């Protein structure tokens, strides 16, 4: 991870660079601040810079053997400690080393990973991880070895507030009498849950939330160019880049579902069987989870359209685009077909859930919709 790959945080970056340049790297350094500000990525960049063989004034070189290992988080002098817990795979005495494969994959896919995303990645949703005493003993053991390749041994402790009392006491001892050429880099989201004696022996550096303009720029640099989606994600982020990313992904899925649903309705209305067949092929290849989301989305939009048909000025929960489409489409969704349409989509959802053949389920659904859209609205009175 190069410093320049991390959005914003210029001030923190130059403070970190200065520490290394002026040879003032402390034994223990803690980056703290709100989630989604880039603390973990900054910690990895700092360690990489310290180990880089061809250090540039403002960043690691990115090409030396050490940097190449950092790119995959496999440098032998870089260690991670993260909160873990028992899972179906690791059923007793879990420590970070049991989960390094998942950790590397998760961090490299999203350096802004949140605590709950991490638990999800190791198959332990809705549970709380911990850093236990066994973990601290392992740290001490690892720091007992000489560095393999670089001058420093580096340990990044993600969320030290997750340490239990025994682990924290062991770490405190280590920070009080640190081995030479060791950097303990901690990344914390709530320093109030950390032993004051650890804090007082650690150099603290605050990492502030990202500004809206930095988040906007970051999203655009990742190739997100739809200005409306980007703005919506920025607005929902409150300085947390991870939240912005999730909001954007969710919006993109909604947009994709909107396109698929409206296309199917148009094709069914015009009874374009050949194009319906193409649509079925496309959706059949999407995977079950995505298909189920499309069914849920379709059900929501059908219900909204029925409400709109019955009471055109009723409050609804549709986006601007959905409203535009529905202002015309709602004429075709009425008391004469809404129940059957809902049953068709729900039935398709159930069959998808039960591992039915998606092509057959979707083609059957399309044929039902063709008939149901032709139904006349019941005459009033």
Half-sphere exposure of 272 (CA within 13 A, CB side): 12
Query: Which of residues 64 and 299 has its CB atom nearest to Zn ion in the complex?
Result: 64
Applying CB under 5 A, which part among 51-59, 133-141, 152-160, 351-359 lies near Zn ion?
51-59
Applying CB under 5 A, which part among 49-57, 194-202, 209-217, 355-363 lies near Zn ion?
49-57
When binding is defined by CB under 5 A, the residue of 25, 60, 150, 182 that contacts Zn ion is 60
When binding is defined by CB under 5 A, the residue of 30, 37, 43, 67 that contacts Zn ion is 67
50 exposed, middle or buried (CB, 10 Å; 0-12, 13-18, 19+)?
buried
Query: Which of residues 53 and 360 has its CB atom nearest to Zn ion in the complex?
Result: 53
Q: CB of 46: closest distance to Zn ion in angstroms? A: 13
CA 82, CA 44: separation in Å to the nearest integer? Answer: 14
Beta-carbon contacts of 22 under 8 Å, excluding residues fewer than 6 positions away, are none
Does 61 participate in binding Zn ion (rule CB under 5 A)?
yes
Applying CB under 5 A, which part among 55-63, 175-183, 308-316, 351-359 lies near Zn ion?
55-63
Q: For residue 66, give the nearest of 1, 149, 3 by alpha carbon.
A: 149
Query: Which of residues 78 and 84 has its CB atom nearest to Zn ion in the complex?
Result: 78
- Relative to beta strand 78-81, strand 153-158 is parallel
Query: Which of residues 53 and 335 has its CB atom nearest to Zn ion in the complex?
Result: 53
Q: How many residues bind Zn ion (CB under 5 A)?
A: 6
Give the 3-state secondary structure of 53-74. Answer: CCCCCCCCCCCCHHHHHHHCCC
Q: CB of 152: closest distance to Zn ion in angstroms? A: 14
Applying CB under 5 A, which part among 63-71, 88-96, 141-149, 178-186 lies near Zn ion?
63-71
Which DSSP string corresponds to 189-218? Answer: S-GGGS-HHHHHTSEEEE-PPPPHHHHHHH
Q: CB of 147: closest distance to Zn ion in angstroms? A: 16
Applying CB under 5 A, which part among 53-61, 89-97, 255-263, 296-304 lies near Zn ion?
53-61
Burial 129-142 (b: 16+ CB within 10 A, else e): bebbbebbebbeee
Site string for Zn ion, 75-104 (x = CB under 5 A): ------------------------------
- Name residue 156's beta-bridge partners: 80, 185
Query: Which of residues 54 and 93 has its CB atom nearest to Zn ion in the complex?
Result: 54
When binding is defined by CB under 5 A, the residue of 21, 26, 34, 64 that contacts Zn ion is 64
**Per the structure block, which two tokens stand in for 332?**
């075709």
In this structure, the number of other CB atoms found within 10 A of the CB of residue 255 comes to 15
Applying CB under 5 A, which part among 46-54, 120-128, 195-203, 316-324 lies near Zn ion?
46-54
- Determine the 3-state secondary structure of 187 from DSSP: strand
Radius of gyration of the chain from its Cα atoms, rounded to whole angstroms: 27
Q: CB of 3: closest distance to Zn ion in angstroms? A: 12
Residues at the interface with Zn ion (CB under 5 A): 52, 54, 60-61, 64, 67
């Amino acid at each position: 991870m190069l410093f320049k790959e991390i959005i914003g945080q210029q001030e923190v970056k130059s403070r970190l660079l200065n520490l290394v340049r002026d040879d003032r790297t402390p034994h223990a350094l803690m980056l703290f601040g709100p989630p989604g500000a880039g603390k973990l990525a900054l910690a990895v960049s700092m360690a990489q810079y310290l180990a880089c063989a061809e250090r540039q004034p403002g960043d690691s070189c990115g090409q030396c053997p050490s940097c190449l290992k950092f790119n995959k988080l496999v440098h032998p002098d870089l260690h991670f400690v993260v909160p873990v817990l028992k899972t179906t795979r690791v059923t007793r005495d879990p420590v970070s080393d049991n989960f390094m494969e998942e950790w590397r994959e998760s961090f490299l896919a999203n350096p802004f990973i949140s605590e709950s995303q991490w638990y999800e990645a190791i198959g332990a949703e809705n549970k709380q991880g911990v850093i236990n005493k066994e973990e601290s003993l392992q740290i001490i053991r690892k720091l007992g070895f000489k560095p393999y390749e670089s001058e420093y041994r580096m340990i990044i402790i993600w969320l030290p507030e997750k340490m239990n009392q025994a682990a924290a006491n062991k770490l405190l001892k280590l920070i009080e009498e640190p081995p030479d050429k060791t950097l303990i880099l901690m990344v914390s989201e709530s320093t109030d849950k950390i032993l004051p004696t650890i804090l007082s022996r650690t150099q603290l550096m605050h990492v502030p939330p990202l500004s809206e303009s930095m988040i906007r720029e970051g999203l655009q640099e990742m190739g997100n160019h739809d200005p409306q989606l980007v703005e919506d994600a920025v607005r929902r982020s409150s300085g947390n880049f991870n939240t912005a990313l999730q909001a954007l992904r969710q919006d993109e899925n909604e947009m994709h579902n909107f396109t698929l649903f409206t296309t199917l309705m148009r094709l069914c209305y015009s009874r374009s069987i050949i194009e319906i067949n193409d649509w079925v092929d496309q959706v059949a290849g999407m995977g079950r989870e995505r298909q189920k989301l499309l069914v849920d989305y379709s059900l929501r939009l059908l219900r909204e359209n029925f409400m709109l048909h019955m009471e055109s000025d009723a409050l609804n929960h549709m986006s601007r685009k959905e409203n535009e489409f529905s202002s015309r489409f709602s004429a075709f969704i009425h008391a004469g077909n809404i129940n059957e349409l809902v049953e068709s989509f729900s039935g398709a959802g159930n069959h998808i859930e039960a591992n039915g053949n998606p092509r057959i389920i979707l083609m059957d659904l399309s044929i039902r919709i063709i008939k149901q859209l032709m139904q006349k609205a019941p005459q009033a009175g």
